[in-house]
Amino acid sequence: MTNKLSDKTVGRLSLYRRLLNNLARSGVKYLFSHDLAAESGATAAQVRRDVMAVGYSGSPTKGYEIAELAASIARFLDGECSQSVALIGVGNLGRAILAYFSGRRPNLAIVAAFDRDEHRVNRVIHGCRCYPVDVLQEKVAEVGIRTAIIAVPAGEAQTVADRLVRSGVRGILNFAPTHLRVPPNVFVQEIDITTSLEKVAFFARQ
C-alpha cells in the first residue's frame, strides 16, 4: 500500500498527525472527517480516503478517536523501526535544522552530520556528532542510513547527492537551490526557500 501512495498523500498524513497531536494536547478526544478537513485544508472525502489508507476507521456517531488515529498514522508513516538521518552541511541552515529536529521525532533522528570546515568537524552540535565530509560514504554505510538532508551550496549539492546514492541512501531532502539528478529509485524532496518566497511575494502584490 505504501508504494502506491503519492507524495501528496504522505504529506497530508504527516500534517494530520501534527494537527491531531496538537488537538490531543488541548484535551480534544474526538473529531469528524470534516473537522480534520477544515484544519488541514483538505476535503472531507480526501481525509476519509487518506485515513482508510492507514487502515483506521472511526465511529459513525463520534468520529475519529484522536489519540488512536494519530498512533495509527505514526505506525504507518514511521514503520516498526526507527530511521537514522544524515545531514550534509552544518552552516547556518544546517545548524538551524539540527536545532529544530533535536528530540522532535525520536524514531526519525539526525544521527550524523558532515561538513568540510575543520572548525565544525569532530564536534557535537545540537546533540549530533559532525564528521569530515571525506568519511561520508563510509559512515553512512556503516550506520545504515537511508535518508539524508543536503544543506550545502548549490555547486556542491550534486556531488554530495552522488556520494549519498553510492552509499545506499534512498531518500534526500534537498535545501540546495539546484535540481538533483538521481536514479529513479531515489526519492528527492526539493525545498527552494527563495523560489517559495518569491511566489508568496508575487501573490501578495496582486
**pLDDT of 169:** 96
Question: Are 118 and 69 contained in the same domain?
Answer: no
Domain-located, residue 206:
no
**pLDDT of 160:** 97
Question: Are 144 and 103 contained in the same domain?
Answer: yes
Question: Are 68 and 135 contained in the same domain?
Answer: no
Verdict on whether the full-model pTM lies above 0.75: yes
**pLDDT of 1:** 42
**pLDDT of 164:** 96
Q: How many domains does the chain have?
A: 2
Ranges under pLDDT 70 in the chain: 1-3
| DSSP secondary structure letters along the chain | -GGGS-HHHHHHHHHHHHHHHHHHHTT--EE-HHHHHHHHT--HHHHHHHHHHTT---BTTTBEEHHHHHHHHHHHHH-SS-EEEEEE--SHHHHHHHHHHTTT-TTEEEEEEEES-TTTTTEEETTEEEEEGGGHHHHHHHHT--EEEE-S-HHHHHHHHHHHHHTT--EEEE-SSS-----TTSEEEE--HHHHHHHHHHHHH-
